[in-house]
Structure 1
Amino acid sequence: MLIPRKNTWNLTTSKSKVSPVKTFQQNQNMTLSIPPELNSASEVLSSLSTQQTPKVTEAEMMQAVRTLLLGLGEDPEREGLKDTPKRVVKALQFLTKGYHESLDELLNGAVFTEDANEMVLVRDIDIFSSCEHHILPIIGRAHVAYIPNGKVIGLSKIARICEMYARRLQVQERLTLQIADALQGLLKPQGVAVVLEATHMCMVMRGVQKPGSWTVTSAMRGVFADDARTREEFMNLILHNTKFR
Structure 2
Amino acid sequence: MEKNILSGQSFLGKLTDEEIEKRRDSAEYHFREFLYALGYDVHNDPNMKETPRRVTKMYMKELFSGTYQPCPKITTFPNSGNYSGIVFEGGIKIISGCSHHFMPIIGYVYIGYIAGDTIIGLSKLNRICQWVASRPSLQEEMTTKIHEELEKILQNNKGVAVYIKASHLCVQARGVKDYDTSMITSKLSGVFLDKEDTAKEEFLQMVNSFKK
Q: TM-score, normalised by structure 2?
A: 0.86
1:224 corresponds in structure 2 to 192
| 1:241 Cα deviation from its structure 2 partner | 4.2
Aligned counterparts of 1:177 and 1:206: Cα–Cα separation in 2: 27
Partner secondary structure for residue 26 of structure 2: helix
Give yes or no for the alignment of 1:205 onto 2:170. Answer: no
Corresponding residue to 1:234 among 200, 203, 206: 203
Report 1:139-218 matches (<5 A).
139-188=106-155, 189-218=157-186
Q: Amino acid of the residue matched to residue 112 of structure 1?
A: F
Aligned counterparts of 1:241 and 1:96: Cα–Cα separation in 2: 28
Quote the RMSD (CA, aligned, Å).
2.0
2:77 corresponds in structure 1 to 112
Partner secondary structure for residue 240 of structure 1: helix
Report 1:2-81 matches (<5 A).
27=5, 49-52=10-13, 53=15, 57-77=23-43, 78-81=45-48
Corresponding residue to 1:82 among 36, 49, 55: 49
| Structure 1: tracts of 5 or more residues without a match | 1-25, 29-47
Identify if the C-alpha distance between structure 1 residues 223 and 27 changes in structure 2 by more than 3 Å, giving closer, same or farther. farther
Give yes or no for the alignment of 1:131 onto 2:92. Answer: no
| 1:106 Cα deviation from its structure 2 partner | 2.6
- Answer whether contact 1:116 1:150 (CA < 8 A) is retained: no
What's the CA shift string for 1:128-153, capped at 9, x where partnerless? 00000111100000001100002001
| Structure 2: tracts of 5 or more residues without a match | none
Aligned counterparts of 1:164 and 1:241: Cα–Cα separation in 2: 22
Structure with greater contact order relative to length (CA < 8 Å, sep ≥ 6): 1
Aligned counterparts of 1:241 and 1:205: Cα–Cα separation in 2: 27
Partner secondary structure for residue 76 of structure 1: coil
Partner secondary structure for residue 74 of structure 1: coil
Q: How many residues align?
A: 196
| 1:211 Cα deviation from its structure 2 partner | 0.7
